[in-house]
């Protein structure tokens, strides 16, 4: 149930491509930028 809910949330996020991403996505993006060579 929880897993299915998360998947739907992710798909909606990708489809909508919100201009202001949620904190979790923002933190993940920052982590990726910091870990880039």
pLDDT digits (tens, 9 = 90+) for 1-37: 556 656 555 655 555 565 666 777 888 889 989 998 8
Domain that includes residue 9, residue range = 2-34
Amino acid 33: pLDDT: 92
Amino acid 34: pLDDT: 94
Amino acid 23: pLDDT: 76
- In which element (H, E) is residue 16 found? helix 2-16
Work out how many domains the chain is built from and give that number: 1
Instruction: Give the integer Cα–Cα distance in Å for 3 and 30.
Output: 24
**Cβ-contact 16, 4 below 8 angstroms:** no
């Amino acid at each position: 149930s929880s897993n299915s809910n998360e998947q739907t949330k992710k798909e909606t996020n990708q489809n909508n491509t919100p201009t202001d991403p949620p904190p979790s996505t923002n933190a993940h993006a920052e982590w990726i930028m910091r870990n880039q060579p």
